[in-house]
Amino acid sequence: MWTLARKLLLHDRLRFAVAITGVSVSVMLVLVQVGLYYGFMDTAASLIDASHADLWVGKKGNDSFEFASPFDERAYYKVASVAGVARAERLLVNFAQFKLPDGGDLGVQMIGVETTRGRRALLEPWNVVAGDPHRLAEPGAVVLDRTEYDKLKIDRIGHATEITGVRAELVALTDGIRSFTTSPIVFADLRSARSYLPQLGPDAVTFVLVEVQPGLDPAVVQARINALPHLAAYTRREMSLRTRAYWSDRTGVGAGFFTTAVLGVIVGFVVVGQILYSGTLQYIREYGTLKAMGARNRAVISVILSQAMISAVLGFAVGAPLAIAMRAAMRAANLNVALFPALYLATAAITAIMCMFAALLSIIKVLRLDPASVFKG
């Protein structure tokens, strides 16, 4: 049946090209839209995912990473003294004003990390492509992402400016660390960050990052910390999911991207369905002849389903590379399209199902076909 299906499909090359185009556009839309969604979510949770902390501790009731409320540093000491905590580090997160060369200001997201020479911090800049990140421990040292060059109007390592009126010097550049908000991320040592965020007070902390003692179940330590008043502890994965859910639900970005992806599936469904149906109508007498000669319905249906599957496979084979090309193009615009094996598999499955359903109308037509009709001239 594959031979018949393939030849029927290829016999009208223009129609075949339209079918493959429809499926490949659908595949590309699904991959890019869902990839954009996951890319945005990865961006939103990137700082959390890149941390080495087993637990994130914040003020109870915080929904997101960017807009978390600070709390008093005394809570940090309480957390640090909980049994099972091997290491605790303070993290300060808030928005500050970055002075531009032309005198203007730009809002940036300040990330104040506890740096200790000779020891990896539980959160520190990664993907460093220039400069010396170890200098972050120096007063006034900051690390930025090079994709923010244009926005911040900086041009070199050593560039000096002010943040909220306090001197800041660029000591290293990363590549690919971006915030879900439009504000560039700026890393600084905790002490420097406190000087850039005077509105929070000298003892403010936004999160406490916890490393659990080796061999101990983080959930046990988590429960102990949750017993402390006004604090909530989350595993790194839980914190990441909370942040993703915040941006997905509160902004509607999830609904937006998935709606477009669904529209892509509908486009593919309509195009393939129309092509298969017109093809079935074109060969209806031939199908009727086969039925008259004793072909069972399932044999004729298999020809139509085979055409649908060929369209699905070839459409995916064209659409997936298109999505990869789109990802490369969007990367130039600093948009992250996350394409991963499970997404490819899911899209392939959706494409196959879409094409099979698109064949439904043709299958119904053939099932209802009266073989005696071929005698009617």
Alpha-carbon distance of 48 to 39, in angstroms, equals: 15
Distances, alpha carbon 369 to alpha carbons 5, 61, 115, 273, in Å: 18, 64, 76, 18
Question: Is 289 among the residues that bind other proteins (CB under 8 A)?
Answer: yes
In this complex, which beta carbon is closest to other proteins, that of residue 52 or of residue 365? 365
Sign for the CA dihedral angle at 329, 330, 336, 342 comes to: negative
Sign for the CA dihedral angle at 252, 254, 257, 263 comes to: negative
Binds other proteins by CB under 8 A, chosen from 228, 295, 317, 360: 295
The binding track of 299-318 with respect to other proteins, each residue x by CB under 8 A or -, is xx------------------
Binds other proteins by CB under 8 A, chosen from 156, 237, 250, 296: 296
The binding track of 8-37 with respect to other proteins, each residue x by CB under 8 A or -, is x-xx--------------------------
Q: Residue 301 CA to chain centroid, in angstroms?
A: 39
* Count of positions on this chain that bind other proteins (CB under 8 A): 28
| Burial class of 165 by CB neighbour count within 10 A (0 to 12, 13 to 18, 19+) | exposed
Alpha-carbon distance of 276 to 16, in angstroms, equals: 9
C-beta of 306: minimal distance to other proteins in Å? 13
Please state the φ and ψ torsions of residue 272, each to the nearest 5 degrees: -65, -40
**Part in contact with other proteins (CB under 8 A); list of ranges 82-90, 192-200, 284-292, 309-317:** 284-292
Binds other proteins by CB under 8 A, chosen from 118, 202, 215, 375: 375
In this complex, which beta carbon is closest to other proteins, that of residue 81 or of residue 289? 289
Distances, alpha carbon 176 to alpha carbons 43, 261, 376, in Å: 9, 25, 69
Binds other proteins by CB under 8 A, chosen from 291, 304, 319, 354: 291
Binds other proteins by CB under 8 A, chosen from 176, 254, 256, 371: 371
- Reading the block at residue 91, the tokens are 């993290």
**Part in contact with other proteins (CB under 8 A); list of ranges 20-28, 30-38, 179-187, 286-294:** 286-294
Using CB under 8 A as the criterion, which residues of the chain lie in contact with other proteins when the complex forms?
1, 3-4, 7-8, 10-11, 283, 285-286, 288-296, 299-300, 370-372, 374-377
